[in-house]
Amino acid sequence: MDAMHRRCLVVVAFCSSSVVFAASCERLTSLSLPNTTIKSAKVIGAGTYALPGAHPVKDLPAFCAVHGVLKPTDVSDIHFEVWLPEKNWNGKLETVGNGGLAGTISFGPMVAALRNGFATASTDTGHTAKEPPAWLENRDRLIDYSYRGLHLVTINAKAIVQAYYSQSPQYSYFSGCSTGGKQGLMEAQRYPADYDGIIAGDAANFWTHQMMSEVWNGVVTSSPDTNLPQDKLQLVQEAVLAACDALDGAVDGIVSDPVHCHFDPKNLECKGEDASSCLTAAQVSAVEKIYNGPVNPRTGQKLYPGLYPGGELGWGKAGGQFVINRAKSSGVSSNDFFRYALFQNPDWEFRNFDFDRDGKAADEKLAPVTNATDPNLEEFRKLGHKLLYYHGASDPLIPAQNGIDYYQSVVAAQGRGAVDTGLERTQGFFRVFLIPGLYHCAGGPGATAFGTYLPAPGYQQDADHDMVRAIEKWVEQGVAPDRIVATKYVENTPAKGIALQRPLCAYPLVARYKGSGDMNDAANFVCMK
């Protein structure tokens, strides 16, 4: 029996006697795809695999690794990888997203997808992280990064799956966080037929205003008197916990209902000289501005949400984003994005950003390409496709309220002219989970393992504990998730065991303690308003 017939037996549910498989992985280099060159295709044997630019990964199943380059325009250079399991393919495709300004293929999430039996794909979106950021000045390359690259890679990945297995993916899924969350929402809005199910987390979908937010948080803490050192962040967080920790009935060091947490930092203002036990007037003002978010100084219009109370330690070193206390540049993606995409001036300084004039210019010039804020998901809904969105309530980079705002805009759009209410209609295809105590995509004091960045426990890798399996069940069986039980590992390390488990509730519900029983046991919490 040849290798192709053996593979057919492995995926018997998707094969028939008439199926003709590709002769070998290596022959995929001859596959003809529009504007595409397949640079390599080779079988990687089971065992340890040295990921490009990363540490070797152990215990991988054998797979066919395909590397290609897309050139839809003269300046495009979109690299992508597609991995195809040699055995036990589940008949599905999972494409994984990027972070920040991308520039790398997301090999880590591809490993997780491959281990779960998926064919999997990822792209660098058209540039490398090592090249100068001047690529942002080119409109076509910005389009490749923002949406075209991922869409074309999706088309190619499906074609490569078809060529290798002689079967199209029975279902196609996308999963991503941060920029990956934006990519997921962009796909649902621009290319609703691409994916049957999308998991989008902590999305930077309101991109131009997210860039403003990063600049804002840098500016308001950039002077010596407004700087917020870690001990002052600790002070603020402890005060927030004292005010809001018990809103869910469980005093556990986590603000689980941040939407209803109303904390006034003026309560911490020093009565005399600066001390470790209080905030100066300038520091109080800085904290207020971070909570409130950027504002147009001329009109007073709020440009973007601020951060929820309860994750203050994550604003600094613990969160790993470093968007506050900026001296020379604004944090994460904003400095390069504004210097090159907006101002085309490498010497631009972030403190000079005008939140009236420059904010308007950013929206006029860049929002049509970079933003994924269109609330019209009607075509996505009509196709029967599903969207799971999650956001860390303690995210120190992208305000969780931004995700809630987008969801509510979809609810409003779905409510127009509908017989049922917008909320009921929206929940039929789009659900949101606010994750208490989760920083940006990973880390934080809460139960943050639910099958995305960290896996559910091995004996609980099911739709009740794992978001990937939850969306599979929703798409394939029509069972929508009302709650997903998340896990907190000791020191955020699965090998060290479970510290606690909590239910994540479909927004607007919140997990509330029943009043008795072990608070580390999810069974003692109920989803309610």
Residues 156 and 231 in one domain: no
What amino acid positions are annotated as catalytic residues? 178, 395, 440
Residues 220 and 314 in one domain: yes
Tens digits of per-residue pLDDT, 392-415?
A: 999 999 999 999 999 999 999 999
Instruction: Say how far apart CA 35 and CA 260 lie, in whole Å.
Output: 51
Mean pLDDT, residues 117-141 taken together: 97
Mean pLDDT, residues 471-494 taken together: 97
Confidence at residue 451, expressed as pLDDT on a 0 to 100 scale: 96
- The phi and psi torsions of 172 (rounded to 5 degrees) equal -120, 135
What is the percent of the chain where pLDDT is above 70? Answer: 95
Confidence at residue 417, expressed as pLDDT on a 0 to 100 scale: 60
Number of domains in the chain: 2
Confidence at residue 12, expressed as pLDDT on a 0 to 100 scale: 33
Out of 283, 302, 331, a domain closes at 331
Confidence at residue 1, expressed as pLDDT on a 0 to 100 scale: 34
pTM across the whole model:
0.94
The reply to whether 320 falls in a domain is yes
The reply to whether 73 falls in a domain is yes
The reply to whether 4 falls in a domain is yes
The reply to whether 259 falls in a domain is yes
Confidence at residue 420, expressed as pLDDT on a 0 to 100 scale: 62
Q: Is the peptide bond before 508 cis (omega within 30 degrees of 0)?
A: yes
Residues 13 and 155 in one domain: yes
Give the residue with greater pLDDT, 99 vs 3: 99
Residues 144 and 218 in one domain: no
The reply to whether 33 falls in a domain is yes
Confidence at residue 318, expressed as pLDDT on a 0 to 100 scale: 78
**Least confident among 8-12, 63-67, 86-90, 224-228:** 8-12
Out of 145, 169, 193, a domain closes at 169
Confidence at residue 55, expressed as pLDDT on a 0 to 100 scale: 81
What is the percent of the chain where pLDDT is above 90? Answer: 91
Confidence at residue 78, expressed as pLDDT on a 0 to 100 scale: 98
* DSSP SS3 for 122: strand
Note whether 395 and 439 are within 8 A (CB). yes
Residues 1 and 129 in one domain: yes
Tens digits of per-residue pLDDT, 341-399?
A: 999 999 999 999 999 999 999 999 999 999 999 999 999 999 999 999 999 999 999 99
Angle value at C-alpha 449, between 443 and 455, nearest 5 degrees: 120
Mean pLDDT, residues 146-160 taken together: 98
SS3 string, 127-156, reads CCCCCCHHHHHCHHHHHHHHHHHHHHHHHH
Residues 160 and 31 in one domain: yes
The reply to whether 132 falls in a domain is yes
| Cβ within 8 Å of residue 144, ≥6 positions away | 72, 73, 76, 78, 125, 126, 127
Tens digits of per-residue pLDDT, 241-282?
A: 999 999 999 999 999 999 999 999 999 999 999 999 999 999
| Rg of the chain taking only CA atoms, in angstroms | 24
Residues 45 and 137 in one domain: yes
Note whether 325 and 231 are within 8 A (CB). no
Residues 220 and 161 in one domain: no
Among 280, 261, 264, residue whose Cα is nearest residue 272: 280
Tens digits of per-residue pLDDT, 307-334?
A: 999 999 999 987 777 899 999 999 999 9
Confidence at residue 336, expressed as pLDDT on a 0 to 100 scale: 98
Confidence at residue 2, expressed as pLDDT on a 0 to 100 scale: 37
Residue whose tokens read 């050192």: 229
Residues 102 and 223 in one domain: no
The reply to whether 423 falls in a domain is no
Segment (H or E) for 369: helix 357-370
The reply to whether 437 falls in a domain is no
Out of 331, 349, 370, a domain closes at 331
Residues 17 and 157 in one domain: yes
- The phi and psi torsions of 444 (rounded to 5 degrees) equal 105, 170
Name the residue range of residue 315's domain.
212-331
Residues 224 and 138 in one domain: no
Instruction: Say how far apart CA 29 and CA 40 lie, in whole Å.
Output: 6
Residues 230 and 161 in one domain: no
